[in-house]
A = this chain, B = another copy of it.
Amino acid sequence: MNKQLVYLFNEGDANMRSTLGGKGANLAEMTKLGLPVPQGFVVSTNACIDYYAQDEKLSKQLVDEVKNNMFKLEEITNKTFDSTINPLLVSVRSGARASMPGMMDTILNLGLNDEVAKAMALDNERLAYDSYRRLIQMFANVVKGIDKKHFDLDIETLLSKYHVESDHDFSPDQLMELVDLHKDTYLREVGHAFPQEPEGQLLEAIEAVFQSWNNARAIYYRRMNGIPDDWGTAVTIQEMVFGNRNDNCATGVAFSRNPATGEDKLYGEFLFNAQGEDVVAGTHTPLPMDQLKTAMPSQYQEFVDFSKMLEKHYHDMQDMEFTIDDGKLFILQTRSGKRTAQAAVKIANDMVAEGVISKADAINSIDLRIVDGLLHPQFDIAALQKVDPIAKGLPASPGAASGVIALSAAKAVEYHKDNKKVILVRAETSPEDIEGMHISQGILTSRGGMTSHAAVVARGMGKSCIVGSNDLNIKDDVMIVNGKEYYEGDQISIDGGTGFIYEGKLDTQSVTISNDFNHLLEWADDIAELKVYANADSAEDIQTALDFGAQGVGLVRTEHMFFEADRIRSVREMILATNDLQREHALQKILPIQRSDFEKIFRVLKDKSVTIRYLDPPLHEFMPTSTQDIEELATVMDISVAEIRDVIRSLHEFNPMMGHRGCRLAITYPEIALMQTQALIEAAINVTKELDGVTLQPEIMIPLVGDVREFNYLASKIKKLANQLIEEFGINVNYTVGTMIELPRACILAKDIALEADFLSFGTNDLTQMTYGFSRDDAASFLDSYYDVGIYDKDPFATLDTKGVGQLIKLAITDARSVKPDIKIGVCGEHGGDPDSIAFFKQIGMNYVSCSPYRVPIARLALAQE
């Protein structure tokens, strides 16, 4: 038996969203609730899937079911489709499971033709021809793809011919003339006459909706929003009611609460004596809802009551379309309303207070993709609307920032001393730029990808950052964008959330975490089963993370400490050492600085867990690159430039990502790991003495382990020294030693590793790179082609690839827990702050996620969402 392809509204409900689409399911639900909904039927998503499976042809079954349901609709409405007596007109709308702008929207008044219009005109001439001319224009536009402007020209012609101000003011005769003009235009543009058979109109419209599922805009939207291509769309066919019948009519759209502020008051726009399209088209200026309250108080109150009822029923703020037809209110559509982050937070709080929704519902109501706006400065919307971006790059770290251009870190520092706000603009940043980055408002580079030095450091600092903007040509003393030159001191603005770069200074809105938002976060913590830690490298950043509610720190990258100006020289001395003794001598200079860093970190975190990763990047990252810096270093170190160049050359790697880094460094130079251990344990001992009674929780993390023997080799050395120091000082330190799982081999051998390690932390950045076999930076050159041809839907570095990388992680966790059920397992890659990835991590037995401080609130909410 074939499955049913078409459903009357009264055959469905809100649960049938995947079959009826969002629009259809809500209309069915409202029908069930007894709301005044014009009746109709829904061509299901299955029909759309069949259509594509059957060489894009409407099946006989579908055509039969459509006809059959039209008969039923005629019975329900007591009107007749394709009849001059009491004619039934319908609207046709697309409606996928998820709301999808870019697809075909709406055709109104379908069913009209010359004969039916003439018959309707006997009753209401203006309505008949106004509706008919609208049908011709919409049908031509959405079914045949003809630009509206051809029909607008007809209107212009008559407006000037009759000196009329607006098409609302046309007389019935003029509207009849407009119909004739439109029919001519249709014939000319489409190539055949406007179809006079309502059934043919309907089937063409249904097919047009199906086709719109695969237009470029729809495909693009799906990719951006992770909507599967195989869902298909439904088509809703609904009896027309008329907002343009007479002056006792109106039509509009309204939100049950203010979508910008969250205020609990019906908010929207409407027009008297018009059809829905007029409200959104911008051709007529719609009126605020308060004027409806004045003009039609009872209908307004009825609408408020319905909107409250729908809110309670759906447990969410509603976005509704309505029409008042000769004084009678109809609801044409309802759905959850989009809102700003601020509004979302206020509405969630208010609705909990009103008892409309539970705390869990409140958390679920927050769209995490927009919450970033609450955590970083944003450009003032009014300011933004006035300007166009001059260029675009990769949005590496969110937040809006304005300042003067500094083309070097030194210049940035100079401006900062003069109390100027700075945007640091570089081809790419290097460790030497750290100080300049720190004092800048934002960072902009012309090269590098989402894991470039600039991007990683900026995210850690929570600083606005755009990287890899090919539009920029950055030279020593000028930045050229599309031929225009910008010099140091010139104002620019960047939006790290969108990647747009603007000329001049744009006003920003500052960040305050509202009480409402804090409530949500606290409720979320009660619900969440996993903890949220932060990736943060300094006491300052850790404090920010704690302020955002982090329960600990899942990743301290100690190399970021190595880059700072006061120690990079000793680090380089260590690298340039030609024997163990020289190397240890250099390390002894770094030791007190690193110990003091750790002390600061422990003081902030107290008894909260902190995972400290030992030195990870390849050593060449610490070496200078410019001739000038190399010469400087040679002078300071009293060795020849040639010698330094030799070392740099010897450190060169073909594929640094796959080279001498991570634990491999400490295996060749154990003295580095031992220095770090000494610094860490001594710092812990000192702070334990200071903070009497507090038990610190340091976790030592050995990076890039691919074999348990790597781990054992280093862990035994580390533990030996640590225990020796603890014994020596007579103060216990409750440290553990674990590892980062970031290589496919570590996943496969997780059982071996779990037996030895105290904890496992998945580094999903590297794991994604190795599993896919492409590096994030280099992949930029071909991933766009992949999106274009539909090979990948989304960036696997932004959202975890659950089918591939995720399966490796799952396998590893299962194996690890099979030998050590209680082992602490988390994730500290960038996916730790991504809501979709977090949804997966929740399912596979992790204990925590760790993300950058500014993502902590998002992670807290994501962990509590269903």
- Which candidate, A139-147, A357-365, A534-542, A744-752, is the interface stretch facing chain B? A744-752
Q: Is A71's CB within 8 Å of the partner chain B?
A: no
- B710–A791 contact, CB under 8 A? yes
Q: Is A734's CB within 8 Å of the partner chain B?
A: no
Contact of A742 among B653, B710, B749, B773 (CB under 8 A): B773
Contact of A791 among B658, B667, B773, B778 (CB under 8 A): B667
Contact of A744 among B659, B742, B744, B779 (CB under 8 A): B744
Q: Is A640's CB within 8 Å of the partner chain B?
A: no
- B713–A789 contact, CB under 8 A? yes
- B791–A772 contact, CB under 8 A? no
Q: Is A770's CB within 8 Å of the partner chain B?
A: yes
Contact of A656 among B655, B706, B786 (CB under 8 A): B655
Closest chain B residue to A668 by CB distance? B785
- A667–B789 contact, CB under 8 A? yes
Q: How far is the CA of A655 from the CA of B780 in the complex (A)?
A: 12
Q: Is A736's CB within 8 Å of the partner chain B?
A: no
| CB neighbours of A704 from chain B (8 A) | 773
Taking A744-B744, A773-B743, A777-B654 as contacts, is the C-beta distance between A749 and B707 under 8 angstroms? no
Contact of A770 among B660, B667, B770, B789 (CB under 8 A): B770
Digitize A763-801: 1 where CB-to-B-CB distance is under 8 Å, 0 elsewhere.
Answer: 000100111111101110110011001111000000001
Tell me, rounded to whole Å, the shortest Cβ–Cβ distance linking A671 to chain B: 13
| CB neighbours of A781 from chain B (8 A) | 653, 659-660, 668
| CB neighbours of A656 from chain B (8 A) | 654-655, 778
| CB neighbours of A792 from chain B (8 A) | 707, 709
Q: Is A101's CB within 8 Å of the partner chain B?
A: no
Q: Is A803's CB within 8 Å of the partner chain B?
A: yes
Q: Is A657's CB within 8 Å of the partner chain B?
A: yes
- B706–A804 contact, CB under 8 A? yes
Taking A667-B786, A749-B804 as contacts, is the C-beta distance between A655 and B770 under 8 angstroms? no
Tell me, rounded to whole Å, the shortest Cβ–Cβ distance linking A144 to chain B: 30
- A658–B660 contact, CB under 8 A? no
Q: How far is the CA of A667 from the CA of B804 in the complex (A)?
A: 20
- B707–A791 contact, CB under 8 A? yes
Q: How far is the CA of A804 from the CA of B743 in the complex (A)?
A: 11
Q: How far is the CA of A664 from the CA of B791 in the complex (A)?
A: 11
Q: Name the interface residues of A465-517: CB closer than 8 Å to any CB of B.
A: none
Closest chain B residue to A652 by CB distance? B778
Q: Name the interface residues of A636-661: CB closer than 8 Å to any CB of B.
A: 653-660
SS of A interface (majority): helix
Digitize A706-728: 1 where CB-to-B-CB distance is under 8 Å, 0 elsewhere.
Answer: 11011001000000000000000
- A745–B657 contact, CB under 8 A? no
| CB neighbours of A801 from chain B (8 A) | 745
Digitize A663-678: 1 where CB-to-B-CB distance is under 8 Å, 0 elsewhere.
Answer: 0100110000000000
Q: How far is the CA of A272 from the CA of B801 in the complex (A)?
A: 76
Q: How far is the CA of A94 from the CA of B785 in the complex (A)?
A: 65
By CB atoms of chain B within 10 A, which of A745, A777, A782, A805 has the most? A745
Q: How far is the CA of A857 from the CA of B777 in the complex (A)?
A: 43
| CB neighbours of A743 from chain B (8 A) | 771-773
Q: Is A808's CB within 8 Å of the partner chain B?
A: yes
Closest chain B residue to A742 by CB distance? B773
Q: Is A124's CB within 8 Å of the partner chain B?
A: no
| CB neighbours of A99 from chain B (8 A) | none
Q: How far is the CA of A786 from the CA of B713 in the complex (A)?
A: 10
Q: Is A196's CB within 8 Å of the partner chain B?
A: no
Q: How far is the CA of A805 from the CA of B773 in the complex (A)?
A: 14
Taking A667-B786, A667-B791 as contacts, is the C-beta distance between A775 and B659 under 8 angstroms? yes
Q: How far is the CA of A568 from the CA of B779 in the complex (A)?
A: 26
- A773–B744 contact, CB under 8 A? yes
Q: Is A807's CB within 8 Å of the partner chain B?
A: yes
Closest chain B residue to A708 by CB distance? B791
Q: How far is the CA of A742 from the CA of B667 in the complex (A)?
A: 28
Contact of A660 among B664, B713, B778, B807 (CB under 8 A): B778
Closest chain B residue to A706 by CB distance? B772
Interface contacts beyond A658-B778, A707-B804: sample of 7 additional A-B pairs, CB < 8 Å, sorted by A: A658-B658, A658-B773, A659-B774, A668-B781, A709-B790, A713-B791, A748-B804
> Chain A residues in contact with chain B, CB under 8 A?
653-660, 664, 667-668, 704, 706-707, 709-710, 713, 742-745, 748-749, 766, 769-775, 777-779, 781-782, 785-786, 789-792, 801, 803-805, 807-808
User: Could you jot down 29 A-B contacts, CB within 8 Å?
Assistant: A653-B775, A653-B781, A654-B657, A654-B778, A658-B774, A658-B775, A658-B779, A659-B775, A659-B781, A660-B781, A660-B782, A664-B774, A667-B782, A667-B786, A667-B789, A668-B782, A668-B785, A706-B772, A706-B774, A706-B804, A707-B804, A709-B792, A710-B791, A742-B773, A743-B772, A744-B773, A745-B801, A748-B804, A770-B773
